[in-house]
Homo-oligomer: A and B are copies of this chain.
Amino acid sequence: MPSHHHKKNKDPHRRKDSHRHHAAPKQQLDPTDEGTPAVTEGLGSDDNSSMSVEREDTSSISGNGSEVGSVGSRDQGDGASAVEPNLDGAEVKWVGPVRAPLLSIKTELNIPLLLLTVVAMATRMWRLEYPNSVVFDEMHFGRFASMYIRRTFFFDVHPPLGKLIIAFGAYLGDFSGNFTWERIGTDYPSAVPVWYLRLFPALFGSLLVPLTYQTTVELGYNHWTATLAGGMVLFENSLVTQSRFLLIDSFLLFFILATLLCLLKFWRRKQSPFSPWWWAWLAGTGAMLACACSVKYVGVFTVLLVGGMIFHELWNLVGDKRLSVHDLTSHFLARAGLLAVLPVLLYLLLFHLHLELANRSGPHDEMMTSAFQATLEGGLSRITKSQPVSIAYGSQITLRHTHGMFLGRPCWLHSHLSTYPVRYHDNRGSSAQQQVTCYSFKDINNWWIVKDPGRTTLYVDDPPKLIHHGDIIQLVHGTSSRALNSHNVAAPLSPYSQEVTCYIDYNISLPAQNLWRVELVDSADEGDTWKSIQSHVRLVHVNTSAALKVSGLQLPDWGFHQLEVVSDRVIQQEPTIWNVEEHKYTQVDQADVVGNNEETFNQATYEDTMDDQPLMGFLGRFAELQWKMLSTNKELQQEHKYSSSPAEWPLMERGVAYWLHPRTNAQIHFMGNPVVWWSGVVGILGYLALLGVFLVRRRRACFDMDDESWQRYILTGELVLGGWVLHYVPFFLMERTLFLHHYLPALVFKILLLAVMVENIHTHVLRWPIHRNVFSALCAVWVTCIYFTYRKFAPLTYGNSDLSADEVTDLKWLESWDLLIQVL
């Protein structure tokens, strides 16, 4: 067999329209005519043979191995070379031919596409600055944009790309970042460049329309269908609403669809593998995928979709015996490199950008570990950078609980002069010694002095006697001078763990057990001495081999609602890890007055300060931030008045109130175009029903459509219906609060499927011209309804008109829609 895939394909890659032009140059003299041929292909015409070339190679991927390569000899369009030199315009005429200019460029303008784009821009950007107040989640994303502008570190559960783009808009608009995004409805002062802030969401949201158009074309459907798909996206109220404000969903939708488009363009090149364009579109797919995932983690579902499709494609390649194992390896490595390695690198790059831009101390610092905080300018690093590094006997320290946030805050080991109640509610007894807790605020009572059990002095020697992994220490509480103690008494809230106290000698048979062994986590890696901030440490009680731990439970009144500290025999667990945050050396001459108040704490001489220590590197910071982002879901589980369950989404049973005019009923309510949403469900059911019928009939060897159409039908199912399923079904398994706008990626797939189903029914189900004409007419009516529905709900989309209570009620097509009516 010819090694077809190795030879460079020299055929010029032509678009369908330019291909037609090339074949029949005599009829086309005026280049401006070329822009419209797509329009002449009506929904009613059977003559769309010019489409078949494109259809074929997009869809042959879905066939089994025996079909692969059977279409290798045909001419291929690539959809990219609309600009080509006119070299063959020769005609025999009386005055001789008009010569070609020395250098010229012929461009082709797709008028419907252009129109769609322009109208999309108009719908998305019309009165973009209205309403001039904070709308819904603008509160969050606006605040993050301000943070970027002020270069302040912040924590968010979404990856950075969407916020970076918004921040770029803010930068273009010379935003100073001086606005507190406190609550929805606050008016923007004139200093906030609202138009610039909302520009990029609107821009990406507008580009979604041509992207939909082009994706439909690349799927192998005709330009009427593409216009229909684009039009439905264009007049979809939910997409308009979501694009007009400071939200990141329009970026996500754009990148998801761009991934799809790049993938289809890449497949169009399958007959010339490893050509520059092949590489370019493959890289484009990977890059768009990375962008989608870097806007919201919903992009992961797109990764699954692309991964599944690429696996399927590779499986077909494996079945192609003309490909050697070496070829297969190349194919595999190319895809792995550009669809896996490249996106990961891009993702890391964006996080790097994020951490570089937001590198100053800010309000979310305390979410992060001390080591992370030390890398931020200002804040903790200002305190710690001049402190001694190595903990020595006589060090004054605060001990921070390293992992886990309780009550949304970190906490520090703490004691105070109150004792445990003699008897708890459940009648268990306590030791009645001084309480030890974990306290979420910085406080003088968080200070402890590291004491050598063999000596009675508390000051630091010169040179300091450093503490190593495995050393035994006592921890003396700074203000009360009592030592940290534990014993076999049940802890107040965690009866299976031991109580931790500051020891008071009541002269009863309860001796002090106040020796603790320092165990450094990863002591082999980190070196042997206990360092402030960097070292993660466990304090293991010597008598009982139990480790100091925060149970995460909140003490009742008697413990001032601070967090319970216990010691637990299970040592190897995250809640037992601590680190020193602030650190001073106790001076010799003041050590004996320790125990009175803060002013007595002073520092011995020392040489190595934190300034000389290496900061946490990018990868460490990335890993910590990523882990925190993935594990933080507390705040996302709150109830919300407008939250909805995924089951309610396809039929749009609930919208989300975004904004309400302070005085009138003018309001912005996030909801879709009901006709589109409900038709979309019909489209999905229609696809499945037709698929079932066709499958059974093909099984019985009744072939209703040619092989190309069938493969296109299957590809559509895998990519578009598969996309809908992957971007919808996983939400059923999520436990966080969900809103209708989480359905938007699935909605775009649903619209695509609906549009192509119209063409499929027209072409493959209806057999008589009369039926087709009636169907076309019905479709025209339906499209008109879509437009008018969009217009009807436009007041809720743009929030620009004062509605009377009756008008609002009139828009409430479903009882379950919570439109707002002011009580005036």
Contact = CB atoms under 8 A, between A and B. Distances in A.
A318 B65 contact: no
Interface stretch (A696-704, A748-756, A757-765): A696-704
Interface centre among A315, A321, A700, A701 (most CB of B within 10 A): A700
A321 B65 contact: no
Contact of A321 (B319, B321, B696, B700): B700
Interface in A300-331: 315, 318-319, 321
Contact of A318 (B315, B319, B699): B699
A318 B700 CA distance: 6
A4 to B, nearest CB: 17
Nearest to A315: B699
Contacts of A321: 700-701
Nearest to A696: B318
Contacts of A696: 318
A65 B699 contact: yes
A321 B696 CA distance: 12
A321 B697 CA distance: 11
A319 B699 CA distance: 5
A699 B321 CA distance: 9
Interface in A312-360: 315, 318-319, 321
A315 B695 CA distance: 10
Contacts of A701: 321
Contacts of A700: 318-319, 321
Nearest to A319: B699
A361 to B, nearest CB: 41
A18 B700 CA distance: 38
A699 B701 CA distance: 25
Interface string A658-702: 000000000000000000000000000000000000001001110
A729 to B, nearest CB: 14
A692 to B, nearest CB: 12
Nearest to A733: B733
A699 to B, nearest CB: 5
A699 B700 CA distance: 26
A778 to B, nearest CB: 32
Contacts of A699: 65, 315, 318-319
A320 to B, nearest CB: 9
A700 B319 CA distance: 5
Nearest to A321: B701
A458 to B, nearest CB: 43
A699 B328 CA distance: 13
A696 B325 CA distance: 12
A495 to B, nearest CB: 16
A666 B549 CA distance: 39
A228 to B, nearest CB: 35
A226 to B, nearest CB: 35
A65 B700 CA distance: 10
A119 to B, nearest CB: 45
A257 to B, nearest CB: 32
A622 to B, nearest CB: 29
A52 to B, nearest CB: 28
A63 to B, nearest CB: 14
Nearest to A317: B699
Interface string A48-77: 000000000000000001000000000000
A309 to B, nearest CB: 18
Contacts of A318: 696, 699-700
Nearest to A316: B699
A700 B318 CA distance: 6
Nearest to A325: B700
Contacts of A319: 699-700
A815 to B, nearest CB: 13
A699 B318 CA distance: 6
A484 B111 CA distance: 74
A724 to B, nearest CB: 23
Nearest to A328: B700
Interface centre among A315, A318, A699, A701 (most CB of B within 10 A): A699
Interface string A699-721: 11100000000000000000000
A820 to B, nearest CB: 19
A64 to B, nearest CB: 10
A225 B46 CA distance: 61
A65 B701 CA distance: 11
Contacts of A65: 699
Interface centre among A65, A315, A318, A321 (most CB of B within 10 A): A318
A61 to B, nearest CB: 15
A245 B139 CA distance: 64
A326 to B, nearest CB: 13
A65 B695 CA distance: 13
A318 B696 CA distance: 7
A318 B702 CA distance: 12
A423 B699 CA distance: 74
A317 to B, nearest CB: 9
A683 to B, nearest CB: 26
A65 B318 CA distance: 23
A813 to B, nearest CB: 21
A696 B317 CA distance: 11
A508 B699 CA distance: 81
A692 B328 CA distance: 17
A755 B319 CA distance: 31
Contacts of A315: 699
A734 to B, nearest CB: 15
Interface string A65-97: 100000000000000000000000000000000
A569 to B, nearest CB: 14
A319 B65 CA distance: 20
A330 B789 CA distance: 50
A163 to B, nearest CB: 36
A22 to B, nearest CB: 38
A213 B696 CA distance: 38
Interface string A187-227: 00000000000000000000000000000000000000000
A452 B700 CA distance: 72
A785 B318 CA distance: 42
A401 to B, nearest CB: 28
A65 B699 CA distance: 8
A754 to B, nearest CB: 29
Interface in A80-123: none
A701 B315 CA distance: 13
A696 B314 CA distance: 11
A315 B699 CA distance: 8
A315 to B, nearest CB: 7
Nearest to A698: B319
A639 to B, nearest CB: 14
A700 B65 CA distance: 10
A495 B699 CA distance: 61
Given A318-B696, A319-B699, 7 more contacts: A65-B699, A315-B699, A318-B699, A318-B700, A319-B700, A321-B700, A321-B701
The 5 closest A-B pairs by CB, nearest first: A318-B699, A319-B699, A321-B701, A318-B696, A318-B700
9 contacts: A65-B699, A315-B699, A318-B696, A318-B699, A318-B700, A319-B699, A319-B700, A321-B700, A321-B701
